[in-house]
Amino acid sequence: MTKRAPIKQADLNRLAAVVKRNNITVEVEAEGYTIRMSPGSPAAVAPLPEPEPELDTRWDIPWADIPPEPIQPPLNWRESKAMDYLVERGAEVRVDWYMLKDFGTHTQKKLQERGFIEASSETDRHGHPDEVWLTRAGAKAMRDQRSHRDKYPCF
């Protein structure tokens, strides 16, 4: 046996005609259900004037004029976390690979391809390098990234 519909088809058709004719949105609550009907195409409206570009309230720099960040493509969260840890330690300071959280072979390979880190040739039994360190190019890229974010903050 089927359950009775919360609203009848004839009522829906009447509401749809009103919605379409008056270009309004109608909301009906029946038996705990909410049914919302909107017009398919909005009525002809005069075009709005071109809005002014959004401005950075701190420096009044249009968003379109802010240059892209120095590191492109942007670092993902794992790369960013590893780079932040290595930057705290400094360039050319060797760190055991297991000190980097959420740092796997894929993240290592991506950062090495960018030239931001180096890894020792000695590996453990699982194939992980014994040590990882930040290169001078990686330190410079992170410095440039931080200075860009200080100059053009995004909130």
Residue type for 126, please?
Answer: H
Residue 45: the pLDDT is 58
User: What tens digit of pLDDT does each residue of 110-135 get?
Assistant: 999 999 999 999 988 888 899 999 99
Cα–Cα distance for residue pair 36/32, rounded to 1 Å: 13
User: What tens digit of pLDDT does each residue of 71-84 get?
Assistant: 889 999 999 999 99
What are the CB-based long-range contacts (under 8 Å, 24+) for 116-120? 116/83, 116/141, 116/142, 117/82, 117/83, 117/86, 120/94
- Which of the four pLDDT bands, split at 50, 70 and 90, describes residue 34? confident
Cα–Cα distance for residue pair 113/49, rounded to 1 Å: 48
Find which of 3-17, 29-43, 89-103 is predicted with most confidence, using mean pLDDT. Answer: 89-103
**Contact call for residues 37 and 26 (beta carbons, < 8 A):** yes
Domain boundaries, the chain: 1-41, 77-151
Q: Name the helix (H) or strand (E) containing 117.
A: strand 117-119
Residue 57: the pLDDT is 60
Residue 29: the pLDDT is 85
Residue 42: the pLDDT is 55
Looking at domain 77-151, its CATH class is mainly alpha
Residue 118: the pLDDT is 96
Question: 65: which DSSP letter?
Answer: G
Report percent pLDDT > 90 for the chain.
40
**Contact call for residues 135 and 126 (beta carbons, < 8 A):** no
